[in-house]
Amino acid sequence: MKKILAAHDGSKASDKAVKSALELATQFKAALTVISVIPELYLTELVEMDRVRILDAMTADTKKTLARIRAKAEGVSPLKTIIKYGRPAEEILAEAVRMKADIIVAGSHGRHGAGKFFMGSVSSKLVDHAQCSVLVVK
């Protein structure tokens, strides 16, 4: 196992997933990339200015979170972080193919987690469609 892709959405569950991914990366001396996807805003009533403002705020927030993750990982494992925009599962899957990831690590639930289902819709799509293995962290 050489390349690990961990998905982070700002939730506690994804913190746990990144922690497990870091442990795996250390054990296997693998390269770890953490991806965070900022979802597209489909709200049609938003005027363009609001849309840009909200996306800017979300980007700033995500950058801070990823910087915090990099700081925590310092000295443990070399870690790359990336931000993408669009549909979370699709972007994560595309990145896994692009970087030829051996495994995707995600939380069982995320920010919206009602906990009603066994898994959230993003982790479920990753398990269904990934070409590589997927570790769903509980």
Ligand X SMILES: Nc1ncnc2c1ncn2[C@@H]1O[C@H](COP(=O)(O)OP(=O)(O)OP(=O)(O)O)[C@@H](O)[C@H]1O
| Contact flag: residue 107 with Mg ion (CB under 5 A) | no
40 vs 43: CA distance, rounded Å: 9
63 vs 103: CA distance, rounded Å: 24
Q: What is the CB-side half-sphere exposure of residue 133 using CA atoms within 13 A?
A: 9
86 vs 59: CA distance, rounded Å: 13
Point out which residues bind ligand X (CB under 6 A).
7-9, 11, 13-14, 17, 35-37, 39, 88, 92, 106-107, 109-113, 120-123
# residues contacting Mg ion (CB under 5 A): 2
| Contact flag: residue 110 with Mg ion (CB under 5 A) | yes
Q: Which does 19 bind (CB under 5 to 8 A by kind): ligand X, Mg ion, none?
A: none
| Contact flag: residue 12 with Mg ion (CB under 5 A) | no
Residue number, 34 or 47, with CB nearest to ligand X: 34
Instruction: State residue 64 phi and psi, 5-degree precision.
Output: -65, -45
The binding site for Mg ion (CB under 5 A) comprises 110, 112
